[in-house]
Structure 1
Amino acid sequence: MKRKRHNPEQIIRKLRSAEQLLNQGQTVADVCRALEVSAATYHRRQQLYGGMKATEAKRLKELEQENARLKRLLADAELDKAMLKELAGGKLLSPERRRRAVVVLQDRFRASQRRACRLAGQNRTTQRRPVPVADIEEHKLRQRIRELARRHVRWGRRLVYRRLRIEGWSVNHKRVQRIWREEGLQRPLPRKRKRSRPVDGSRELLRAEYPHHVWAIDFQFDQTMDGRRLEFLNIVDEYSRLCLAIRVGRRCKAVDVIDTIEELLRQYPAPTHLRMDNGPEFIAHALQEWCTGSGTGTAYIPPGSPWENPFVESFNGRFRDEFLNIELFASLPEAQALAEQHRMEYNTYRPHSALQGRTPLEVLQQWKAA
């Protein structure tokens, strides 16, 4: 049978009895035998509780219990404070947001459901209620929006909305905007730049009336990690917005432009016109002679008038924002591979706002079918 331990009051009473026996002339060994303890235990108890009254020992025990209780309360208060800081990112206005907050608190702080519900202001019955089907669909939609935002870091909510519609999601733009705002995916607003416009707007531009009627050509520049130059030759079909080619090299001369166009002619019909600026590669005699021999006309824009080549300039802006600004090229072959991957994604995956949310390849296929 397990022996019961003595409390401080009982120990003090036994020490009083030991003092009486010692005053009667008995030895310490006789006292230990009478108290049924060893000499070491007697001296240890005498050192801890000697000269103390039973009421004082009781008060000491109460103080120790009170101190332990205050420590527990302080630890609970600090834990509640840390959990409230975790929820300080936004207001928990809906039961679904409070439901997710309770789950987060339980996972991160190993708190009980009762405590997490109290801090989040959630009713425990509501928390235990099964999630409706609509909430499950909402969770899937949120997850897909986050995936698109992580994969395309420079996309805004409008592009994500168009991509969701292409994938078959039955969702309107206001719902996507709400989720986009709640998930904190807003991009900083771009600074508006003043663009110069021609004084006389009476000059009418050549308009593409069918695919491969007008090809727009322009250059962009970047560099690899070692500081060496990269030159991107972009060719865009103005009717379908299809990016036909992105040639990447250290330098690009007129013969390189001709070689790139001739490679495209193996897949596509020859364009009727080439829209270009007055760069040295485009006004070279070699390119002009090739255009004359192939029957392709040239549509040069006036110097200092990039707005007259709007389709390739629009592509260049998106190419810079969604590709060049987020990629760091270690070598020329890596830049070539990544540029080709971006071109395929631009043609077949990315929805285009000017094409009513369709991709350039869809526009080209629909025109062929019609």
Structure 2
Amino acid sequence: MVKPSLRKEMAQQAVANRQVSIRLACAAFSVSESCYRYQALLNDENAEIAERLVELTELHSDWGFGQCFLYLRNVKGQSWNHKRVYRIYCELALNLRIKPKRRLKRQAPEPLKEPIKANQIWSMDFMHDQLSDGRCFRLFNVIDDYRREGLAIEAGFSLPTIRVIRVLNQLLEWRETPTVIRCDNGPEFISHEFTAWAKKHDIRIEYIQPGKPQQNAYIERANRTIRYSWLSKNLFDTLEEVQDYATQWLWFYNHERPHRANGGRPPLMVA
């Protein structure tokens, strides 16, 4: 089955090269005369959409169509129809190929408690990576679960309990004290210093069950975004470079990066 666009092109070639009338060419290739004479009116705008999509996918290689469209619609304020943007996205072959994963039968985890207001539940966790010279470093990430707002990304070769407490104290200088902090059972979080600090600020520590990271799903999803957005795509020479990049990216994450949990809007664009 030949597409109408190809039949139209064949009819145009017959008229141009073989001096056949338009009516005869349309009848021969089963194309209506209105289709033959139709000229697209939005070529310039389509070119702009294609240029925007190429720029976004080159800058954010981990973004698929949904993330690109939400960025153009909610951050840049473009009113282009999603079907039209998706058609151009496919024509440019920008589709991300996702390797299907084998489905495993797992026990149903405990339901994740969803906050109903800001500063109700904070989640925190650690990540690991290496510098260009092979030295290992860690990232300490903190988010507000309500709007998935990133609160802090602290980089360091060693992040003991005292560093964790220092970061949280800095957050409390400009944020309301959370009711609950959700974390795993790492040694930094179960230490006497940390539990005493939480008790002093009247904060309840909610530990997840060992081996159940889905119970801390909000920060685990944020860690995945950090990993694929910039941590695995860049090679840093010093810890200062990591911290500077993390600070700039955190501003972008909160102000410009669309988040599906917020209806396709960045965390700080949600009232």
Counterpart-to-counterpart distance in 2, 1:145 and 1:287? 46
Which structure has greater helix proportion? 1
Is residue 69 of structure 2 the alignment partner of residue 147 of structure 1? no
Q: Which amino acid aligns with 2:68?
A: V
**Mapping 1:158-307, distance limit 5 Å:** 158-166=66-74, 167-192=76-101, 194=103, 197-198=106-107, 201=109, 203-307=110-214
Q: Deviations over 1:13-38 (max 9, x none)?
A: xxxxxxxxxxxxxxxxxxxxxxxxxx
How many residues are paired up? 245
Counterpart-to-counterpart distance in 2, 1:247 and 1:354? 24
Offset at residue 329 of structure 1 (A): 0.9
Q: Which amino acid aligns with 2:46?
A: E
Counterpart-to-counterpart distance in 1, 2:111 and 2:65? 34
**Mapping 1:46-195, distance limit 5 Å:** 93=5, 133-166=41-74, 167-192=76-101, 194=103
Offset at residue 147 of structure 1 (A): 1.3
Q: Any idea what SS the aligned residue of 2:171 has?
A: helix
Q: Deviations over 1:81-127 (max 9, x none)?
A: xxxxxxxxxx9x579x9xxxxxxxxxxxxxxxxxxx98xxxxxxxxx
Q: Is 1:158–1:173's contact at 8 Å kept on the other side of the alignment? A: no
Partner of 2:225: 318
Counterpart-to-counterpart distance in 2, 1:339 and 1:281? 22
Q: 1:351 to 1:278 in 2, by over 3 A?
A: same
Offset at residue 256 of structure 1 (A): 0.6
- Please give the root-mean-square deviation of Cα atoms over the aligned residues, in Å: 2.7
Q: Any idea what SS the aligned residue of 1:190 has?
A: coil
Q: Which amino acid aligns with 1:326?
A: K
Partner of 2:22: none
Equivalent position to 2:240, from 315, 325, 333: 333
Counterpart-to-counterpart distance in 2, 1:193 and 1:231? 30
Counterpart-to-counterpart distance in 1, 2:249 and 2:41? 37
Q: 1:205 to 1:149 in 2, by over 3 A?
A: closer
Q: Is 2:46–2:88's contact at 8 Å kept on the other side of the alignment? A: no
Q: Which has the larger radius of gyration?
A: 1
Offset at residue 330 of structure 1 (A): 1.3
Offset at residue 267 of structure 1 (A): 1.4
Q: TM-score, normalised by structure 2?
A: 0.83
Q: Deviations over 1:176-224 (max 9, x none)?
A: 221111112122213426567445x5x4443312101000000111010
Partner of 1:342: 249
Counterpart-to-counterpart distance in 2, 1:153 and 1:133? 31
Partner of 2:26: none
Q: Percent identity?
A: 36
Q: Is 1:278–1:300's contact at 8 Å kept on the other side of the alignment? A: yes
Q: 1:154 to 1:303 in 2, by over 3 A?
A: same
Q: Which structure is richer in relative contact order (CA contacts within 8 A, separation 6 or more)?
A: 2
Offset at residue 133 of structure 1 (A): 5.0
Counterpart-to-counterpart distance in 1, 2:166 and 2:102? 36
Q: 1:286 to 1:325 in 2, by over 3 A?
A: same
Q: Deviations over 1:137-157 (max 9, x none)?
A: 111111111111121111111
Offset at residue 171 of structure 1 (A): 1.8
Q: Any idea what SS the aligned residue of 1:299 has?
A: strand
Partner of 2:23: none
Counterpart-to-counterpart distance in 2, 1:187 and 1:206? 32
Q: Any idea what SS the aligned residue of 1:309 has?
A: helix
Q: Any idea what SS the aligned residue of 1:310 has?
A: helix
